[in-house]
Chain A
């Protein structure tokens, strides 16, 4: 049975994944911790913590709150910065056989270009995921992804500065995701990640204030899965680029749903917090399902649900 998928068929180096199960940015740190406990090379790809040009301490605490079948977070991009990532983390990635994708967030269109340039040709870095959808920063993030023109500018700026395959991670916080999908497709992105967390709020009624210090945060977990699934479906209907699904995937059945909606790969995110082995378990369950259903090639099921559109 073939589980391999290509996330960048239009890129000269391609981005071959051994299977469609990836980790989601911000839910796996930089992979180093869990690679000590589980076989990292068994996964399709690993996506880094959101990385910025300069190191960031992140937001004040509390940064998270549990909600029904989900959680809201506003971590605020606590990260070591791109330089330290290249110096301290990338050499470890270079020893792995699993592709490592660096999720980057800029405060301006130009910063995405600088980040792309810094990562170009770095041993251990297989691709870049442009985060134009983080709800938890004052400058940039989400607003870049809500405007098709700006999102396309971010992609163009990154392409000018790197030869690496580029994924673009879009926001679900938008009236219609399709114009943004079309814009980043036309700008030359190689794959599209759908989607990020959904802007949300929880209030502590005894303290009469927001549960998290930042006020708003991003909702993730099984609670958002049906919303993400629809967005993946919509995105798949307007682009031929591979779509990477991200939002509430916790088991093999969820992964198959997303593949059937048109995703080429899936990112396991919040599920990692309640089971550090979640990505590996999702892969096992996906593989078992394919075996039981006599699937020869996992690509057979990508987008199959669309015939009832």
Chain B
């Protein structure tokens, strides 16, 4: 019988803890608010994770991890005659595109990205189906759950902090104009450079995140770091207006004449 319920009653940390302690084998599906994730476990160890809309198979994982270029990705996709990641992985290793270690690291990194994101989901329903494992052709990398649970719990706290510090991903960024900012002395990671390369008052943070295929959590963390270092500033996006939600619509300033403001200034000065 499937184990099912609501995340409001039983959160992801508690679910993972249960699966770990009971050494369960099967597939956990979590869905809600238009998103869905599937995580598989074998004898209490995480072996596979996928997130709707973000998964692009092994090629996507390798590209995201920087193991292959976007051009290589296009060529491989065009030539590939198989959908099975295991088979594709062997072909890529034999063709010298990547090593076995590259594949393991990329899949592991993707799996962890998905799973850590799940820790930030606070509503939705879950269903655990015993003994259901990923399709035969999928690449599985076993990972112990203990460290994931600890890291996930830590990230939940960090996520809450980042949500408070950076609540609106529809804002844009611009480079600070502080004269003392020493941009040339800054050491940035590859991912930070990727974000930096898109910084422009016309691009929202959400758009940059999408362009880099970067989860919101990672994006918030990078932007928070850049903001804290005083390298960038938040600004309202320029250019064509996005469709704002009814509650967040930016209304235009009321039409006023200069003479009216000058009268106000004169009055306040005389007070």
A and B assemble together: no
A residues lining the B interface (CB < 8 Å): none
